[in-house]
Amino acid sequence: MPEEIQEQGFVLETHNGIATVSVARSEACKACGARILCRTSGEENPRVIAQDPLGVKPGDHVRISAPGRSVLLASFSLYGIPLLLLLLGIALGAKLFLHHPELYGSLLGIGLCALYYFIVRIVSKSDRWKQHLLPRIDRIL
Q: pLDDT tens, 19-29?
A: 888 887 666 66
For residue 40, the model assigns a pLDDT of: 47
Q: Which domains does the chain have, with CATH numbers?
A: 4-67+134-140 (2.40.50), 70-128 (no CATH)
Q: pLDDT tens, 59-68?
A: 889 998 888 7
Checking DSSP bridges between strand 18-23 and strand 47-51, what pairing results, if any?
antiparallel
For residue 84, the model assigns a pLDDT of: 96
Mean pLDDT of 98-110: 91
Q: pLDDT tens, 54-93?
A: 888 998 899 988 887 777 887 888 889 999 999 999 999 8
Share of the chain above pLDDT 90, in %: 25
Task: Kindly report the pTM of this predicted structure.
Answer: 0.64
Looking at residue 134, the DSSP 8-state letter turns out to be: S
